[in-house]
Chain A
Amino acid sequence: MTTAVADAHDAHDEHHGPQKGIRRWLFTTNHKDIGTMYLVLSLIMFFVGGTMALIIRSELMSPGLQFVHPEFFNSMTTMHALVMVFGAVMPAFVGLANWMIPMMIGAPDMALPRMNNWSFWILPVAFGILISTLFMPGGAPASGWTMYPPLVLQTGDAFPFLIFAIHLLGISSIMGAINIIVTILNMRAPDMWLLKMPMFVWTWLITAYLLLAVMPVLAGAVTMLLTDQFFGTSFFLAAGGGDPVMFQHIFWFFGHPEVYIMILPAFGVVSEIIPTFSRKPLFGHDSMVYAASSIAFLSFIVWAHHMFTVGMPLTGQLFFMFATMLIAVPTGVKIFNWVATMWRGAMTFETPMLFSLAFVFLFTIGGFSGLMLAIAPADIQYHDTYFVVAHFHYVLVPGSVFAIMAAVYYWLPKWTGHMYNEKLGKLHFWLSTIFINVTFFPMHFLGLAGMPRRIPDYSTQFANFNEIASIGAIGFGLSQLVFVWVILTSRSGAKATDRVWEAPRGLEWTVPSPAPYHTFDTPPKVRVAQESFE
């Protein structure tokens, strides 16, 4: 089957390859080109957001004000979050989806290729607008990524640009989500039944539904902020009869599923990698699908755990507390299944597997601190402290970001046709893993000791742990240069085989490496492909 598919590709490429020069990237409708652009943009934004993180950590290296004004510090925390969430993590997963989903389900391309091009090209414009606010009178937005009114309404000239940028990011995400759902529902190869789909495709299908449901909610919330500021409405202004707490409810109705938007595709990636390097099929594939669906459903009914301190009836606190704790059940199913997949497997520890294993361990730490935060009476103490910062960074960095890195190492040979430098990959892994813990683990102690988040200065009692965290952050930042070097030099590595690894499963490994510009013009036979792996 591999040969048949390869021949078909070769023949097709002679007639219809990519355009030359810049036009290829501007006007491309090819899912692989668009996936590459998403991934490159994501890497650039990762470094932009990382630079902001280093400014934050430099300021916090020791007590007292050293490098930046407090207002600029607040802008840095706000912009770091917006850039990392909307510019680094989400586009990276959309890039992976673009590259891999059509190949994994045996489709020739995404269902709506022109819209795919638009989805991508809106993003650089949105980030151009967002980053330009750093140079505007009044400075960049500084109210935190949550944009709570009335604080956010004090933003200077940057305010309408912030709102416009958020709208553009939302439109891009919604178009991307629609494209992914339509592709998965309509473009699968014959015999690729829903429950046969790889976990990465499944988790992305669920993620796309989440995106479709919550990005419009964020857009609605910021539209109301805009009309409150410029059109005399009082949706969130207490003086006009509005309710600022309503914004918090609406924001977190978006914000909590957003967390799962950033972690479900990571679950999918890890569910692809662990079986490959354990040389066993994924344990409990169907239960993983149901667990991911349950997590997605529960993510809609837990939003107010972010707002326990705002004041709510006891019954409300109890509901949101128990509903949040319930998420540990399907998450536990996933962790159990990954461990069971590895159990008695013939495991090897190449870079993607190392990142996946670190994901399982360190994401679990983030999950446990999440459980602690879910306990309403305890959360009153933890709220707005560095404990929260430690929690969500454990979920997002060794969680989402490590999964993205694992995915890049796993599929890079399929994209470039060459093996990356394994030694440097492992060096990148160990440096990242050590420094990420040096950075974020002390933040638990800082939070429990009472250090508030989003402040440029602090009491001297917090000095030591802050210094350790800042050294860790600088180390983690520098370690990522190794990642860039590995990617840049990957084309000089040994030629990759079509299957790349010893025991991968899935249609993407049946096409040549590098994957031809067009794949599966003729739908593949899924059963034949599966038998070839048995």
Chain B
Amino acid sequence: MNADAADRRKAVRRTTIILVAIALAFYLGFILMGLLRA
């Protein structure tokens, strides 16, 4: 694997982790909002 491919792989992993975190934050955030309001 050349350096470019390795960098791209790292970038793909980093972006994926950030996006998964955003999705989880929305999911848990809205349930938490429901909990606080109930």
A, B assembled together: yes
> Which A residues form the contact surface with B (CB < 8 A)?
111-112, 174, 177-178, 181-182, 185-187, 212-217, 219-221, 223-224, 233-235, 240-243, 246, 250
Interface 0/1 of B17-32, CB less than 8 Å to A: 0011011101111110
Residues of A within 8 A of B31 (CB): 220, 223-224
Residues of A within 8 A of B29 (CB): 220
- Residue in chain B with minimal CB distance to A224: B34
- Would you call B12 an interface residue if the criterion is a C-beta within 8 Å of the partner chain's C-beta atoms? yes
Q: Contacts A174-B23, A213-B22, A219-B27 hold; do A250 and B16 have CB atoms under 8 A apart?
A: no
B30 touches A250 (CB 8 A): yes
Residues of A within 8 A of B12 (CB): 111-112, 182, 186-187
User: A452 vs B8: C-alpha distance in the bound complex, in angstroms?
Assistant: 55
Residues of B within 8 A of A185 (CB): 11, 15
B23 touches A112 (CB 8 A): no
B38 touches A233 (CB 8 A): yes
User: A214 vs B16: C-alpha distance in the bound complex, in angstroms?
Assistant: 17
A182 touches B38 (CB 8 A): no
Residues of B within 8 A of A221 (CB): 30
What class of interface size applies to chain B in its complex with A? Answer: 20 to 34
User: A408 vs B22: C-alpha distance in the bound complex, in angstroms?
Assistant: 33
- Write 10 A-B pairs (CB below 8 A) sorted by A numbering: A178-B23, A186-B15, A217-B27, A220-B31, A220-B34, A221-B30, A241-B38, A243-B38, A246-B34, A250-B30
Nearest CB in chain A: distance from B7 CB, A: 10
A220 in complex: contacting residue of B20, B22, B26, CB < 8 Å:
B26
A216 touches B24 (CB 8 A): yes
User: A33 vs B11: C-alpha distance in the bound complex, in angstroms?
Assistant: 25
User: A246 vs B30: C-alpha distance in the bound complex, in angstroms?
Assistant: 11
Residues of A within 8 A of B28 (CB): 220
- Residue in chain A with minimal CB distance to B16: A182
Q: Contacts A212-B23, A234-B38 hold; do A181 and B30 have CB atoms under 8 A apart?
A: no
A235 touches B38 (CB 8 A): yes
Residues of A within 8 A of B19 (CB): 177-178, 181-182, 212
Residues of A within 8 A of B38 (CB): 233-235, 240-243
- Residue in chain A with minimal CB distance to B27: A216
Among B20, B27, B30, B34, the one with the most A-chain Cβ atoms within 10 Å of its Cβ is: B34
With A178-B16, A182-B15 given, can you name 20 additional A-B contacts, CB distance below 8 Å? A111-B16, A112-B12, A112-B16, A178-B20, A178-B23, A181-B19, A185-B11, A185-B15, A187-B12, A212-B23, A213-B22, A216-B26, A217-B30, A220-B26, A234-B38, A235-B38, A240-B38, A241-B38, A243-B37, A250-B30
- Residue in chain A with minimal CB distance to B10: A186
Residues of A within 8 A of B30 (CB): 216-217, 220-221, 250
User: A186 vs B8: C-alpha distance in the bound complex, in angstroms?
Assistant: 7
Residues of B within 8 A of A112 (CB): 12, 16
Residues of B within 8 A of A213 (CB): 22, 26
- Those 7 A-B pairs whose CB atoms lie nearest each other, nearest first: A216-B27, A220-B30, A216-B26, A178-B19, A235-B34, A220-B31, A182-B15
Residues of A within 8 A of B11 (CB): 185-186
Residues of B within 8 A of A233 (CB): 38
B23 touches A216 (CB 8 A): yes
User: A356 vs B7: C-alpha distance in the bound complex, in angstroms?
Assistant: 40
- Residue in chain A with minimal CB distance to B13: A182
User: A186 vs B26: C-alpha distance in the bound complex, in angstroms?
Assistant: 24
Nearest CB in chain A: distance from B23 CB, A: 5
A187 touches B8 (CB 8 A): yes
B24 touches A181 (CB 8 A): no
- Residue in chain A with minimal CB distance to B30: A220
Residues of A within 8 A of B15 (CB): 181-182, 185-186
- Residue in chain B with minimal CB distance to A190: B4
B34 touches A250 (CB 8 A): yes
Nearest CB in chain B: distance from A177 CB, A: 8
Residues of B within 8 A of A111 (CB): 12, 16
Nearest CB in chain B: distance from A368 CB, A: 32
User: A462 vs B15: C-alpha distance in the bound complex, in angstroms?
Assistant: 54
User: A216 vs B23: C-alpha distance in the bound complex, in angstroms?
Assistant: 6
Residues of B within 8 A of A234 (CB): 38
Residues of B within 8 A of A212 (CB): 19, 22-23, 26
User: A217 vs B19: C-alpha distance in the bound complex, in angstroms?
Assistant: 15
Nearest CB in chain B: distance from A269 CB, A: 24
User: A234 vs B24: C-alpha distance in the bound complex, in angstroms?
Assistant: 23
User: A214 vs B8: C-alpha distance in the bound complex, in angstroms?
Assistant: 28
User: A215 vs B19: C-alpha distance in the bound complex, in angstroms?
Assistant: 13
Residues of A within 8 A of B26 (CB): 212-214, 216-217, 220
- Residue in chain A with minimal CB distance to B11: A186
Residues of B within 8 A of A217 (CB): 26-27, 30
Nearest CB in chain A: distance from B8 CB, A: 6
User: A220 vs B15: C-alpha distance in the bound complex, in angstroms?
Assistant: 23
Nearest CB in chain B: distance from A40 CB, A: 27
Nearest CB in chain B: distance from A171 CB, A: 9
- Residue in chain B with minimal CB distance to A242: B38
User: A224 vs B30: C-alpha distance in the bound complex, in angstroms?
Assistant: 10
Residues of A within 8 A of B24 (CB): 216
User: A177 vs B16: C-alpha distance in the bound complex, in angstroms?
Assistant: 10
User: A234 vs B20: C-alpha distance in the bound complex, in angstroms?
Assistant: 29
Residues of B within 8 A of A186 (CB): 8, 11-12, 15
